[in-house]
Amino acid sequence: MTYNRALWLADALAAEGCRVVTYDGWEDRGRPASSGDFAPYAVLLHHTGTPTSMSNPHPTLSMCVHGRPDLSGPLCHVLIGYDGVCHVIAAGRANHAGECNGNGPLTPGDGNAQMIGFELDYSGSQAVGTAQADAAIRGAAAVLRHFHRDAAYCRGHKETSTSGKWDPGRYGPDSSAYDMNEIRRYVAEQLARRPGESGEGEDMTAWARLTMTDDQSIGSDQTDVIAYDHAASDDSGMWGSADYWPAALRPPDGYTVGHFQARFRVAGGNAGGRVSVALRYDSVDGDEPGGETLEADFYMGADGGGVIVYDALTGCGHGRRYRVSVHNRTGRGITLRNGADYKLAAYRNAG
C-alpha cells in the first residue's frame, strides 16, 4: 500500500503563476488509505457540468470538497473557477478518475491512484473562461514539473474513462472542442519556460522581492496597501522606496513588461468572503499619472482565510514604482499574516 499526500501542490501552483486559494484542511483531506493507493504521477482534466460566470465563478466548490449523495468527496484535488482561481481542496486520494483504460502513458486500472485531478468549473456547453484556460495549462504544467514528467502525462477524462465520460469538452461527446493534443501542446510550451514565466517577454534584466515581517490588519470594506518592509533586488534597476511602495524601476532605457506576483495568507474573514487584490503604480518623480490594474477576486475558505497568490502581467516604464492594494470585502476585519512576499521581474523586448 502506497499513499503519498500531495502537500507540495499549493506551492507548485503558485510557483507556476497560478492564483491560489487553499480550502481549510486541504492537507489532511482525501479518501482513506483503505479505499486504495495514492501514488500519483500524472494529471487529469475534467469539467463540472455546472454553469458559471465571473459573478459566480465556482458554484461547485462545496460539492467537490464534500461529495454528492452517490459519491464521497473530495471529488478532485483542485477546482479551477471561471475566474481562473485555483482552489486547492485535497492532498490525498480523490474520487475523480474512476477506472482508467490505460490511455497514453497511463496504466490500466485505478485512475484515482495515478492522477491529480483538476475540475474546471463550467457547464460543458459554455466556453471555458480565458483566465480559467490559462490556469488549467499552468496548473497541469505545475504538477508535471513536480513529477518530472512531460506533457504526455496530462490527459483528459474523455481519454481515460471506461464509462463514456466526455470531459473536458463542449457541446457533447461528439464535439471536437478542447482537443487534448492541442492542450498538451500548450502544456509542453509552458513546461519549456521557467516556472511562472508568461511567455510574453524575454531578457529579464531586473528583479526585486519584498517581504512583510509584521501582521497587517484591514477593516471591513476597507482598502489598504501591503506594508512590505524588507527588500532584496538586483544591482541594476530595482530598489525599495518610501511609503510602502515595494519597488522602483529606473533602468537607463526602460522596460516593456513587468511580471508581478504577490503571495500572502489571510485570516479572520468569513467563509466565502471576498478579498480583491490589484496592483497600483505611480511615477517615482510624480510627473506621470498613476493607475491601478483591474482587481482580481479571491474567496476565503471555510475558516474565513486562505492563501492568496495574485499574478499580473502589465507594462512597466521608466521610473515607475508599484505596490499591492488589498480591498477587504469579507464583512469582517482581516489580518494579512507576516511573511507575505511580492516579486517583480522586468523584461525588455516583450513580444
Q: Could you tell me the domains of the chain?
A: 9-192 (3.40.80.10), 202-348 (2.60.120.1400)
Which amino acid appears at position 49 of this protein? G
The overall average pLDDT reported for the chain is 87
325 pLDDT higher than 70:
yes
Which sign does the torsion angle of CA 29, 33, 35, 41 carry? positive
Best CA proximity match to 82, nearest among 19, 173, 149, 1: 19
Which pLDDT does position 320 carry in this prediction? 76
Alpha-carbon distance of 12 to 6, in angstroms, equals 10
Tell me the pLDDT band of 253, cut-offs 50, 70 and 90: low
Q: How confident is the model at residue 351 (pLDDT cuts 50, 70, 90)?
A: very low
- Going by C-alpha positions, the residue among 151, 162, 154 that lies closest to residue 116 is 154
Residue 77 has pLDDT above 80, yes or no: yes
Q: Which of 98-112, 174-188, 228-242 has the lowest mean pLDDT?
A: 228-242
Instruction: Give the integer Cα–Cα distance in Å for 38 and 257.
Output: 41
Nearest Cα neighbor of 197 from 253, 251, 261 is: 261
Say if residue 99's pLDDT is above 60: yes
pLDDT at residue number 350: 38
At 22 the pLDDT is 94
Cell numbers given for 285: 518623480
pLDDT digit string, tens, across residues 174-224: 888 889 998 998 899 888 876 655 444 445 567 788 888 899 999 999 999
The per-residue pLDDT for 5 is 97
Q: For residues 47 and 62, is the Cβ–Cβ distance under 8 A?
A: no
What pLDDT shows up at residue 290?
73
Examine the pLDDT at 133 and tell me if it is beyond 70.
yes
Name the residue with cell 524601476.
249
Looking only at Cα atoms, what is the longest distance across the chain? Answer: 65
pTM, two decimals, is 0.62
Pairing of strands 115-120, 78-80: parallel
Beta-bridged to residue 120, according to DSSP, are 47, 80
**125, 126, 131, 132 alpha-carbon torsion, rounded to 10°:** -30
Contact 157, 180 (CB under 8 A): no
Q: What percent of the chain has pLDDT over 70?
A: 85
Percent of the residues in the chain that have a pLDDT greater than 90, as a whole number: 54
Instruction: Spell out the residues 6+ positions from residue 278 whose beta carbon is closer than 8 angstroms to its own.
Output: 292, 293, 294, 295, 296, 324, 325, 327
Q: Under a CB-based contact definition with an 8 Å cutoff, are residues 331 and 234 in contact?
A: no
The region of weakest confidence among 152-166, 269-283, 314-328 is 314-328
Q: CB–CB of 257/344 below 8 Å?
A: no
Please report the pLDDT score of residue 250 as a whole number: 62
Highest-pLDDT range among 169-178, 255-264, 323-332 = 323-332
- What are 214's three cell numbers? 509584521
Average pLDDT over residues 290-295: 77
Residue 174: its pLDDT value, please?
A: 86
User: At a CB cut-off of 8 Å and minimum separation 6, what does 76 contact?
Assistant: 46, 64, 89, 90, 94, 96, 117, 118, 119
C-alpha distances in Å from residue 111, one per residue of 54, 117, 163, 284: 32, 10, 13, 54
d(Cα 204, Cα 99) in Å, to the nearest integer? 45
